[in-house]
């Protein structure tokens, strides 16, 4: 008989109730702008942006969005996610007026971005001069009319033929026309982030204002960021971990330092120059720094909090980081996009364990969030030492589901888990985990073919669809390779019976999928190994790579 949901999986609620008075995370940010207009909100590309100037910029874009909404354009607002000043302002303006924002990576294939625009039926795009070429390429491909809120000076539509797009420039609104507060229900979608899909079509994870507020509240309670803190911002805005930097930082009145793209390979100098106090990155970034000898003892005296997420965190790497940042608390966070950024944590200051395979645990859920294990049929697994199963999550951070995909949402966000007397809504992560009483959950791997490549979630099936299109062959396979402690550094593609050379196939893949999904090698085979079940023998392909026979 299945027991009631074990309460040891749930962190005990605090006696202090969550702040519920603010419905929109932007409210707190704007309050800060009113009380401390000269405080620094952002450092971007060598320039400071004060909270006051940030608010003025938000109001200009928000005025455009309100006007468009009155004309019936209330679909998600697409934003070119180029980490420019305007991209951050656009995100905040969208939230302010209650419209979801949809970040589009400027280096992703234009066809992929157009597909996201179509899926979301977005009719508004916000961009600036930094992304002129990307905008022109997108608008050339896009069939349905787009209103571009443009902050640049060059004509973005020059040279485009046979289009129905239009351009608007943000203007300073009349003081009287700016509402004191836009009324936004907490269950409104705040943002949509597309993740790799096993069918070849990326799926849009929808996160609500309430989800985001719950996360910000949890992090603020745990780590107490203050207005004197300087937070790193290294993640792409299409990566949900960027939402931590932006909304935790601004909600606390802190300053956000956007690490330039060129320095992301070696950010040590940037950390020291700007005396950053909060660091947040994937373990891969720290590993690269370790590789180049950048983690010297005491080299980051200013950092007081270091968080890592997105990949497995090796214990020795965490230890090296702790030596490099001797006054820093170092923690490992875990969480799928569907559970809003991160939902469990583990502090490495705890006594080193010898039974964790050299990998830092993902630990325990945040306050008022719930984690449990279930079997393949959705039955709860009893909480006991060394219990293993699929990790499932519940609580106020579990997102609304997938944009306009009820079937997939119902499948991954069940409300009818067996023996759950509270009929909670859960998210089935697809991650395998083991439970230990002292250290919480330990990540073991996946139950499917999803892999992590440098922190990015990738469905190998999506790469295989790209390989088929690129090679013209129906018999292809994608294997995560080389394997690392964190997951994988890339993918190797295998193609059978194609006459196209490797370079051509890779080039064509680059036009279909993001860079991190482009196979680093494509191996042309005369014959694809098939197992006794009649399926591609992936173990044999991995063996070929391990043996160096390809």
Partner 1 sequence: MATTVSSILSQCLQIPVDSITPDLAINGAWQWDSIGHLELMMHLEENHGISITEDTILECSSVTGLCQTLGLDL
Binding site for partner 1 (CB under 8 A): 107, 261-266, 268-269, 288-289, 291-294, 454, 489-490, 503, 506, 510, 515-516, 518, 520
In angstroms, how far is the first alpha carbon of the chain from the final one?
A: 52
Q: Which is nearer to partner 1, 198 or 504 (CB)?
A: 504
**In the complex, minimum distance from the CB of residue 482 to partner 1, in angstroms, rounded to a whole number:** 10
Task: Give the relative orientation of helices 25-35 and 51-70 as an angle to the nearest 10 degrees.
Answer: 140
| DSSP secondary structure letters along 329-395 | EEEEEE--GGGSS--EEEETTSPPPSSSTTB---BEEPTT-EEEEE-TTSBB----TTEEEEEEEES
Q: Which is nearer to partner 1, 238 or 252 (CB)?
A: 238
Q: Which is nearer to partner 1, 489 or 537 (CB)?
A: 489
Give, for 544, the enclosing helix (H) or strand (E).
helix 538-547
Q: Are the CB atoms for 109 and 138 separated by under 8 Å?
A: no
Q: Which is nearer to partner 1, 13 or 269 (CB)?
A: 269
Q: How far apart (Å, rounded) are the C-alpha atoms in residues 61 and 72?
A: 17
Q: Which is nearer to partner 1, 310 or 490 (CB)?
A: 490
Which among 459, 436, 208, 485 is positioned nearest to 341, based on CA atoms? 208
**In the complex, minimum distance from the CB of residue 282 to partner 1, in angstroms, rounded to a whole number:** 10
Q: Which is nearer to partner 1, 136 or 434 (CB)?
A: 136
Give, for 279, the enclosing helix (H) or strand (E).
strand 278-281
Q: How far apart (Å, rounded) are the C-alpha atoms in residues 471 and 466?
A: 8
Q: What are 55's two structure tokens?
A: 């608010």
Q: Which is nearer to partner 1, 69 or 516 (CB)?
A: 516
Q: How far apart (Å, rounded) are the C-alpha atoms in residues 128 and 430?
A: 38
93: helix, strand or coil: helix
**In the complex, minimum distance from the CB of residue 54 to partner 1, in angstroms, rounded to a whole number:** 26
**In the complex, minimum distance from the CB of residue 453 to partner 1, in angstroms, rounded to a whole number:** 9
**In the complex, minimum distance from the CB of residue 292 to partner 1, in angstroms, rounded to a whole number:** 5
Q: What is the largest CA-CA distance in the chain?
A: 73
| DSSP secondary structure letters along 408-421 | HHHHHS-S--BT-T
**In the complex, minimum distance from the CB of residue 515 to partner 1, in angstroms, rounded to a whole number:** 5
Strands (E), 61-217: 77-80, 101-104, 124-127, 147-150, 166-168, 189-195, 203-208
**In the complex, minimum distance from the CB of residue 284 to partner 1, in angstroms, rounded to a whole number:** 8
Q: Which is nearer to partner 1, 177 or 266 (CB)?
A: 266
Q: Are the CB atoms for 496 and 528 separated by under 8 Å?
A: yes
133: helix, strand or coil: helix
**In the complex, minimum distance from the CB of residue 203 to partner 1, in angstroms, rounded to a whole number:** 23
Q: What are 124's two structure tokens?
A: 């508004």
**In the complex, minimum distance from the CB of residue 489 to partner 1, in angstroms, rounded to a whole number:** 5
Q: Which is nearer to partner 1, 236 or 431 (CB)?
A: 236
Token pair 């420019």 is at which residue?
Answer: 84
**In the complex, minimum distance from the CB of residue 380 to partner 1, in angstroms, rounded to a whole number:** 40
Q: Which is nearer to partner 1, 294 or 368 (CB)?
A: 294
């Amino acid at each position: 008989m299945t027991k009631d949901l074990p309460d040891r999986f749930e962190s005990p609620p605090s006696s202090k109730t969550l702040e519920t008075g603010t419905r929109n995370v932007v409210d707190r940010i704007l309050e800060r702008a009113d009380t401390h207009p000269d405080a620094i909100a952002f450092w971007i590309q060598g320039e400071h942006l004060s909270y006051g100037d940030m608010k003025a910029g938000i109001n200009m874009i928000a005025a455009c969005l309100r006007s468009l909404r009155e004309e019936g354009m209330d679909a998600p607002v697409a934003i070119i996610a180029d980490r420019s000043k305007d991209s951050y302002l656009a995100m905040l303006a969208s939230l302010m007026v209650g419209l979801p924002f949809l970040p589009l990576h400027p280096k992703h294939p234009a066809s992929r971005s157009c597909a996201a625009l179509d899926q979301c039926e977005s009719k508004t795009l916000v961009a600036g001069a930094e992304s002129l070429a990307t905008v022109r390429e997108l608008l050339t491909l896009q069939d349905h009319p787009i209103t571009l809120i443009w902050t640049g000076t060059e004509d973005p539509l020059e040279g485009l033929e046979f289009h129905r797009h239009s351009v608007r420039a943000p203007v300073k609104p009349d003081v009287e026309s700016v509402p004191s507060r836009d009324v936004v229900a907490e269950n409104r979608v705040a943002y949509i982030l597309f993740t790799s899909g096993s069918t070849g079509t990326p799926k849009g994870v929808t996160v609500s204002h309430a989800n985001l507020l719950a996360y910000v509240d949890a992090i603020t309670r745990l780590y107490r960021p203050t207005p004197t803190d300087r937070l790193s911002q290294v993640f792409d805005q299409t990566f949900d971990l960027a939402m931590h930097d932006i909304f935790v930082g601004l909600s606390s009145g802190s300053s956000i330092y956007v690490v330039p793209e060129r320095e992301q390979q070696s950010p040590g100098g940037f950390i020291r120059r700007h005396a950053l106090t909060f660091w947040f990155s994937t373990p891969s970034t720290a590993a690269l720094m370790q590789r180049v000898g950048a983690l010297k003892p005491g080299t980051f005296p200013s950092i007081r909090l270091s968080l890592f997420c997105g990949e497995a965190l090796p214990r020795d790497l965490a230890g090296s980081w702790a030596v490099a940042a001797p006054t820093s608390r170092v923690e490992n966070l875990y969480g799928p996009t569907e559970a809003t950024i991160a939902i469990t944590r583990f502090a490495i200051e705890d006594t080193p364990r010898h039974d964790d395979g050299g990998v830092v645990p993902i630990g325990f859920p945040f306050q008022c969030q719930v984690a449990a294990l279930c079997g393949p049929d959705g039955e709860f697994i009893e909480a006991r030492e060394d219990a293993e199963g699929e990790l499932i999550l519940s609580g106020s951070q579990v997102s609304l589901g997938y944009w306009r995909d009820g079937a997939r949402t119902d499948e991954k966000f069940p409300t009818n888990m067996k023996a759950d007397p509270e009929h909670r809504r859960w998210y089935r992560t697809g991650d395998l985990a083991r439970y230990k009483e002292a250290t919480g959950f330990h990540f073991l791997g996946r139950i499917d073919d999803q892999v992590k490549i440098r922190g990015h979630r990738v469905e190998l099936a999506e790469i295989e669809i790209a390989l088929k299109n690129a090679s013209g062959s129906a018999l292809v396979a994608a294997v995560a390779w080389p394997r690392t402690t964190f997951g994988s550094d890339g993918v190797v593609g295998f193609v059978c019976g194609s006459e196209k050379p490797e370079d051509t196939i890779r080039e064509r893949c680059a036009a279909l999928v993001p860079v991190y999904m482009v196979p680093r090698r494509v191996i042309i085979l005369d014959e694809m190994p098939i197992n006794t079940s009649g399926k591609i023998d992936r173990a044999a392909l991995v063996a070929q790579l391990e043996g160096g026979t390809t």
